[in-house]
């Protein structure tokens, strides 16, 4: 083989060099950005120089965000894609955004552009920059790249978290209805749609969307959370079997332990509520592990307590709840609040112990409102299950008031029971109370001596003395304690707070406050100079025992008047308690019991109509419409002209138009007749009550003045001498209401004369001490029987009423001789006579003018108050004339010239039949025998009974009454020949 010549070798080298140049040029031309090799090179450099670093920074930030860590709150709807928590991984996400932005700037044509946009959007999402995240996700969708499905899912997820529900619904509708297949991202969009429906409270649509999403392929954590949310939705839809199936499905996705624990616990609870609680309790024990957190232990305790209640064992439920609250692993935050709430509902529903229920509700409201899980916005507050304790504060306020009312009623019941005891029995009870207080004080001293041991961390030995049984906490379990100073027992904490306020009031909460008060000048708090250091120290236990041995019994009503007053107060308190049970607590069955108690014990109290109306409402609330209608009809019959009776007619659908006047008068006459029959049968207290009721209910009829005068006579003759004091207290209260309505505070007397009461003797202490009945709290918007309307006293009518018209149709005995005809020879009460003689009538007319100024002043005696009201309210009636005559006699008696009297109130006790008095030895007395209750009118017709007035020995020497003067007082008095004046007593006063 020959060798190349030097010239040939040169040519070969030239050709090879040119070939290499051509190949190199071709290679250089093929590596441009628009070429295949250029794109591959661009993608390679974009990933390793920028995007890879951005991905690592994002993953570092994602690890610091604890999305699914921590316990699961089963009272809130679980978010499948929980919103990010601000503050975690912010720097890492910022670095990821910067490096991803570098990819977009330096490699705009690389395949990592859509990835960089999604990474920027996700980083802004975790930075809670939802507006920027939405913008980047929309840009990624616009590229129409292979990651469009993920971009649509991320966009919908961000819009839901941002609360832009309408835009989220549009984005999901576009992605799901487009017909494109996005793989697993379609299932995730279904799950996001289900969560959106949950936030919109569209439960059926949420159930359907979540079920469709779970039927496709989902990541484990997403599927587990979606299944748990589906169980909560079905609980809301009241589908326990479907909810249990959804909860059991959670374990198939290999969830984290907190989520698996919550799902198993929910399934067990539903199984116990709908199936057998015993089997559920056995399965519940399997969940207890040593590594359970405080909140998990509290969840198990709450479920166990509910299962015990389902078995009818509230005592066991109470022990379980208090044990977990006082244990070493007591829950905190919202778990503690939920446990207190559960215990409060137990006391409310199972025990009806509203005091302890209010204390636990109060503690629950404080912890739930300040718990770390408590939502701050309206959206968060709305995402709680219906069974969640979201009304703790309202329940605390409601039952605190209910507890106060219950305690007030119980206290008055105890005081009245003590007041009715015999003296020996009362002293024995007081001594027992004193001994018990001494024992309690000794037990407190023992606990105080053991407190240093608690501060040192050592519990007392088993042999140490324990507190007396009465001093044990009301809520406790075996082996549990309330902690140092009982701070773990909310009942004792609330009780101590109330006792402190009752004892110390608003004393400053500061050290050495006694010395501060002494510096301000209180001599009782300043130590004396002659005191030693030991004497200046606080009182020893011996001194404290002396204080404890004193039992204050000043509140016990030991006399009839005080008992009557307390019974009135108790009636109001019982009504308020019943109304609170019905309105605030929603317990019509308990309210019905208290409404009935008001009606049974105090049927004539002004609060009785309201109690009857409340009873009707309680019956209807329980579905007993027939009993409710009967109560409404009873209210209409017994209190026909009260505003609350009008409401009862509306409830029954009866006409509420004004009744025919003639029918009203007829009903008034019937009521007066029943009161009169009660008087005739000797039931004076019932008669007084009935006369007052007639006067109040039919005040615009002619029967009202008759009933008022009859009530005054019954009081003056019988009720004010009654030892029980009930009739006296009732009459005094009614007279006080008349005084408030009729007599506004007058100005100073221009004549400079002294008050008529200045020289009058003081009324008896029994009358003066009779208290006014407390006004009931009207929470049903219906007032109690109201007093008469205000009306200025027409003094001219009072002064001149005797000058007009014919003298009244009556005869009277001599004022010096008073005969008591209250009882007949047979011992039975005879029909009262309200006639007045012409002589006394003329005297009354002649004296009425001079007595008019005094009649305008408010008398001190209840009888005078009623008479003055009658004169002022019904001036043109015969009853007003007789009332004025009685007033004149009372004033003459008060200002008499030194005559001796038997009764400072103006009328002695009722005399027997035929009893006479010598005119020269006794000052003129008020003759109430001539103003006794009149028999009811028989329609003022010819069938009206007529009975001559009784005569006395003093009448034999004076002019004898004519037949016209002995007319029946029940007949309508003829005042003139005019027919209009003849019927004046039958029409309402003007």
For 634-682, how does the pLDDT look when each residue is reduced to its tens digit (9 = 90+)?
A: 998 888 878 888 889 888 887 655 556 777 788 788 888 988 888 888 8
Phi, psi of 988 (to 5 degrees): -60, 145
Which one of 154-158, 483-487, 962-966 scores highest in mean pLDDT? 154-158
- Distance CA(641)–CA(763), nearest Å, equals 35
Q: Which two tokens stand for residue 309?
A: 């209640």
CB 901 within 8 A of CB 893: yes
Angle at 191 between CA 188 and CA 192, to 5 degrees: 90
Q: How confident is the model at residue 47 (pLDDT cuts 50, 70, 90)?
A: low
Q: Which two tokens stand for residue 818?
A: 């008073």
> For the ranges 292-306, 594-608, 899-913, which has the lowest average pLDDT?
899-913
pLDDT value of residue 19: 74
**For the chain, what are the domain ranges?**
33-145, 566-657, 661-743+793-898+907-939+946-990
Q: Which two tokens stand for residue 194?
A: 């289900």
407 alpha-carbon distance from chain centroid:
14
- Distance CA(572)–CA(356), nearest Å, equals 24
Residue 848 has pLDDT above 90, yes or no: no
CB 90 within 8 A of CB 118: no
- Distance CA(326)–CA(481), nearest Å, equals 6
| DSSP line for 890-923 | HHHHHT-SS---S-TTS--SPPPTT----TTTSP
Which one of 412-426, 491-505, 842-856, 896-910 scores highest in mean pLDDT? 412-426
Phi, psi of 887 (to 5 degrees): -65, -40
566-657 CATH fold: 1.25.40
Sign of the torsion formed by the C-alpha atoms of 153, 155, 161 and 163: negative
Angle at 596 between CA 591 and CA 600, to 5 degrees: 155
* Average pLDDT of every residue of the chain: 71
Q: How confident is the model at residue 981 (pLDDT cuts 50, 70, 90)?
A: very low
CB 839 within 8 A of CB 958: yes
Angle at 835 between CA 833 and CA 839, to 5 degrees: 140
- Distance CA(305)–CA(601), nearest Å, equals 40
How far the first Cα of the chain sits from its last, in Å, is 158
Average pLDDT over residues 11-20: 74
Instruction: Give the SS3 label for residue 594.
Output: helix
Q: Dihedral (C-alpha) 654, 655, 658, 663: value to the nearest 10 degrees? A: -60
pLDDT value of residue 428: 92
Percent of residues in the chain assigned helix, strand, coil, to nearest 5:
60, 0, 40
Residue 204 has pLDDT above 90, yes or no: yes
- Distance CA(142)–CA(509), nearest Å, equals 68
The count of C-alpha atoms lying within 13 angstroms of the C-alpha of 975, restricted to the half-sphere facing its C-beta, is 19
For 857-872, how does the pLDDT look when each residue is reduced to its tens digit (9 = 90+)?
A: 444 688 888 888 888 8
Q: Which two tokens stand for residue 101?
A: 């932005």
Phi, psi of 823 (to 5 degrees): -125, 140
Alpha helices in 456-550 (DSSP H): 490-504, 513-519, 533-536, 541-548
Residue 938 has pLDDT above 90, yes or no: no
Choice between 94 and 462, residue whose per-residue pLDDT is larger: 94
- Distance CA(807)–CA(973), nearest Å, equals 9
- Distance CA(35)–CA(39), nearest Å, equals 6
DSSP 5: P
Q: Dihedral (C-alpha) 923, 926, 929, 930: value to the nearest 10 degrees? A: 110
Three-state SS for 331-348 is CCHHHHHHHHHHHHHHHH
DSSP 505: T
How many other CB atoms are found less than 10 A from the CB of residue 829? 20
pLDDT value of residue 985: 35
Average pLDDT over residues 179-208: 92
Closest CA to 734 of 568, 577, 942, 961: 568
Which residues is 76 bridged to in the sheet?
384
Asked if the domains at 33-145 and 566-657 fall in one CATH topology, the answer is yes
User: Percent of the chain, pLDDT > 90?
Assistant: 24
Average pLDDT over residues 866-885: 86
Instruction: Give the SS3 label for residue 877.
Output: coil
- Distance CA(396)–CA(343), nearest Å, equals 13
Which one of 265-274, 388-397, 889-898 scores highest in mean pLDDT? 265-274
- Distance CA(619)–CA(60), nearest Å, equals 66
Residue 502 has pLDDT above 50, yes or no: yes
Element counts in the chain: helices (H) and strands (E) = 41, 0
Instruction: Give the SS3 label for residue 722.
Output: coil
For 119-129, how does the pLDDT look when each residue is reduced to its tens digit (9 = 90+)?
A: 899 899 988 89
> For the ranges 101-105, 190-194, 604-608, which has the lowest average pLDDT?
101-105
Q: How confident is the model at residue 517 (pLDDT cuts 50, 70, 90)?
A: low
Q: Which CATH class is domain 33-145?
A: mainly alpha
For 274-312, how does the pLDDT look when each residue is reduced to its tens digit (9 = 90+)?
A: 878 888 898 888 888 876 788 888 999 999 999 999 999
pLDDT value of residue 449: 77
> For the ranges 149-158, 304-313, 483-492, which has the lowest average pLDDT?
483-492
- Distance CA(698)–CA(696), nearest Å, equals 6
pLDDT value of residue 27: 54
Q: How confident is the model at residue 154 (pLDDT cuts 50, 70, 90)?
A: very high
């Amino acid at each position: 083989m020959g060798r190349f010549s030097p010239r040939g070798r040169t040519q070969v080298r030239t050709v090879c060099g040119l070939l290499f140049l051509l190949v190199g040029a071709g290679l250089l031309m093929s590596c441009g950005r628009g070429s295949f090799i250029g794109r591959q090179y661009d993608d390679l450099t974009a990933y390793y120089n920028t995007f890879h670093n951005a991905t690592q920074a994002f993953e570092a930030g994602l690890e610091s965000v604890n999305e699914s860590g921590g316990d699961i709150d089963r009272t809130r709807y679980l978010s499948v894609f929980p919103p990010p928590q601000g503050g975690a991984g912010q720097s890492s996400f910022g670095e990821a955004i910067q490096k991803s932005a570098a990819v977009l700037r330096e490699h705009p044509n690389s395949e990592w552009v859509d990835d960089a946009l999604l990474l920027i959007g996700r980083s802004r999402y975790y930075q809670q920059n939802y507006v920027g995240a939405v913008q980047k996700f929309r840009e990624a969708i616009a590229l129409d790249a292979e990651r469009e499905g993920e971009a649509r899912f991320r966009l919908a997820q961000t819009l839901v978290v941002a609360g832009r529900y309408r835009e989220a619904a549009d984005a999901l509708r576009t992605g799901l209805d487009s017909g494109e297949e996005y793989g697993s991202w379609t299932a995730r969009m279904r799950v996001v749609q289900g969560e959106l429906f949950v936030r919109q409270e569209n439960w059926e649509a949420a159930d359907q969307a979540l079920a469709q999403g779970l039927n496709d392929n989902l990541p484990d954590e997403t599927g587990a959370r979606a299944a748990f949310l589906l169980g909560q939705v079905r609980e809301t839809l009241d589908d326990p079997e479907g909810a249990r199936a959804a909860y059991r499905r959670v374990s198939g996705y290999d969830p984290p332990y907190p989520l698996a624990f919550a799902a198993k616990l929910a399934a067990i609870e539903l199984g116990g509520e709908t199936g057998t609680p015993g089997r559920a309790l056995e399965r519940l024990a399997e969940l207890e592990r040593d590594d359970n957190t405080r909140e998990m232990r509290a969840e198990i305790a709450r479920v166990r307590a509910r299962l015990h209640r389902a078995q009818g064992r509230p005592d066991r439920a109470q022990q379980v709840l208090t044990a977990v609250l006082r244990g070493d692993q007591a829950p905190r935050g919202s778990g503690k609040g939920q446990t207190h709430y559960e215990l409060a509902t137990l006391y409310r529903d199972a025990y009806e112990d509203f005091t302890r229920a209010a204390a636990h509700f109060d503690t629950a409201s404080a912890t739930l409102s300040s718990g770390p899980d408590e939502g701050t916005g309206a959206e968060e507050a709305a995402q709680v299950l219906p069974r969640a304790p979201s009304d703790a504060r309202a329940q605390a306020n409601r039952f605190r008031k209910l507890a106060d009312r219950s305690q007030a009623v119980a206290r008055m019941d105890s005081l009245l029971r003590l007041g009715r005891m015999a003296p020996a029995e009362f002293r024995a009870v007081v001594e027992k109370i004193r001994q018990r207080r001494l024992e309690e004080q000794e037990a407190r001293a023992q606990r105080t001596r053991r407190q240093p041991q608690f501060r040192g961390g050592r519990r007392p030995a088993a042999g140490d003395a324990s507190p007396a049984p009465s001093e044990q906490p009301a809520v406790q379990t075996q082996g549990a304690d309330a902690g140092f100073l009982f701070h773990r027992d909310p009942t004792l904490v609330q009780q101590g707070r109330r006792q402190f306020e009752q004892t110390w009031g608003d004393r400053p909460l500061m050290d050495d406050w006694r010395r501060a008060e002494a510096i301000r000048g209180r001599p009782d708090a300043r130590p004396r100079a002659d005191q030693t250091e030991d004497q200046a120290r606080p009182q020893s236990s011996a001194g404290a025992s002396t204080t404890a041995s004193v039992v204050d019994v000043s509140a016990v009503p030991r006399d009839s008047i005080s008992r009557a007053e307390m019974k009135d107060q108790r009636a109001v308190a019982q009504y308020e308690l019943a109304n609170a049970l019905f309105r605030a607590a929603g317990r019509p069955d308990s309210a019905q019991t208290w409404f009935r108690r008001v009606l049974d014990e105090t049927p004539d109290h002004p609060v009785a109509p309201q109690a009857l109306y409340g009873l009707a409402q309680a019956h209807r609330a329980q579905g007993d419409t027939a009993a409710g209608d009967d109560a409404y009809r009873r209210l209409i019959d017994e209190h026909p002209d009260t505003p609350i009776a009008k409401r009862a007619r509306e409830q029954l659908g009866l006409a509420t138009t004004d009744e025919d006047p003639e029918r009203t008068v007829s009903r008034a006459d019937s009521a007066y007749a029943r009161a009169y029959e009660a008087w005739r049968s000797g039931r004076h207290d019932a008669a007084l009550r009935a006369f007052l009721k007639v006067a109040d209910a039919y005040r615009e009829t002619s029967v009202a003045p008759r009933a008022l005068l009859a009530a005054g006579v019954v009081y003056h003759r019988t009720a004010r001498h009654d030892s029980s004091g009930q009739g006296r207290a009732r009459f005094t209260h009614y007279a006080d209401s008349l005084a408030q309505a009729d007599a506004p505070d007058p100005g100073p007397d221009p004549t400079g004369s002294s008050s008529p009461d200045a020289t009058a003797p003081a009324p008896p202490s029994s009358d003066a001490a009779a208290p006014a009945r407390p006004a009931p709290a009207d929470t049903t918007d219906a007032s109690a029987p109201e007093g008469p309307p205000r009306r200025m006293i027409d003094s001219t009518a009072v002064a001149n009423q005797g000058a007009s018209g014919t003298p009244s149709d009556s005869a009277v005995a001599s004022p010096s001789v008073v005969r008591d005809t209250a009882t007949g020879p047979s011992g039975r009460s005879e029909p009262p006579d309200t006639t007045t003689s012409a002589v006394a009538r003329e005297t009354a007319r002649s004296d009425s003018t001079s007595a008019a100024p005094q009649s305008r002043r408010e008398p001190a005696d209840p009888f005078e108050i009623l008479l003055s009201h009658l004169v002022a309210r019904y001036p043109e009636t015969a009853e007003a004339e007789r009332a004025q005559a009685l007033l004149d006699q009372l004033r003459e008696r008060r200002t008499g010239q030194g005559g001796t009297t038997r009764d400072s109130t103006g009328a002695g006790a009722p005399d027997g039949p035929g009893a006479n008095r010598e005119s020269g030895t006794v000052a003129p007395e008020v003759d109430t025998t001539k103003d006794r209750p009149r028999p009811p009118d028989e329609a003022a017709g010819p069938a009206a009974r007529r009975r001559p007035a009784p005569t006395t020995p003093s009448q034999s020497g004076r002019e004898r009454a004519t037949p016209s003067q002995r007319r029946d007082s029940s007949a309508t008095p003829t005042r003139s020949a005019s027919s209009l004046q003849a019927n004046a007593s039958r029409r309402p006063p003007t």
